Structure 1
């Protein structure tokens, strides 16, 4: 990989590095069933992936109650501990890209609304934990994305400078997070957000895969 202006690459997880739709759908519908609520179809669920569980519950059900939301989160996590890792697949080019970055000496991190131990479990399953230097999960911040806290925490932990960091994500939440942190952003359209939708936010590049994103960065 040729030299580019960044020395640090920070990634979102769901739909940026991996697809955990099946595990998330199973966990959401288990939680809804436990609450006596109707299940949701996969298309409805996919549109909420990347949000916090509290926001996911509100969007899917219209229920604002904090206590019911807390119960939903409890049941979701109960099922997720059982099914999420086995139902999460890294994208076909994820490990190759991360290996290239590691071999070239770049710093890497993940900032996600998932709990950090889940990311560790998925990476360990794929024998790729060593390719990520730092992970910020939902439990590691007071304010979840699109607040800048998690992204800035990763930058500090990696001893990086903001102008040398690129944040890569698949959603408008990710674009807003980068904007709030004052960090460059690049988008992949491997989630549910179309390329056109990213154009309202500052961005370095929009690509249809990690492979093509890094090819584009090398060509700049």
Structure 2
């Protein structure tokens, strides 16, 4: 311990003097330094991703209510939503609503899902080897309260009115509803697709009012 001497008329006074403190410099560990750099880089990437997502957000068309196969789309079937465009998705922009109204649903559309152009078609639901014909039904002859495009029907022939005790077997034809219409006379007009070979027989039976319609599968 060092001693300091002070010259004073009153006499010397001895007092201890504390040694100077040595401040040690902290060393930055290489691992911690690398972790800090990594966190900063990740933060920058996260910010860039957030900015990109915001920029990719747009207004797209979504399905407002259930749309059966073959139904012609109307404005009430769609609504606009704000979503971020994702990879692999091609939703229809809301600005193109007039391009899709009037098209038919090629598949059943589910409410709340985004609308994609591949789900729509301009063509009627007529498959290869099929033809289209119309069939008028009275209210009592309709097999369901509502028939929709895509419904599967079975057309069953009725016996001729002048046949007495005839046991001729009935003929059956498979058909698919393409569209429906309700004229003012109260009848329901069905636009059907069926096999070409069945068209002549169905036309004759329809002219004689000898067709019963059975709903087999709802779209």
Alignment TM-score, normalising by the size of structure 2: 0.22
Greater helix fraction, Structure 1 or Structure 2: 1
The structure with more radius of gyration: 2
Alignment TM-score, normalising by the size of structure 1: 0.22
Greater strand fraction, Structure 1 or Structure 2: 2
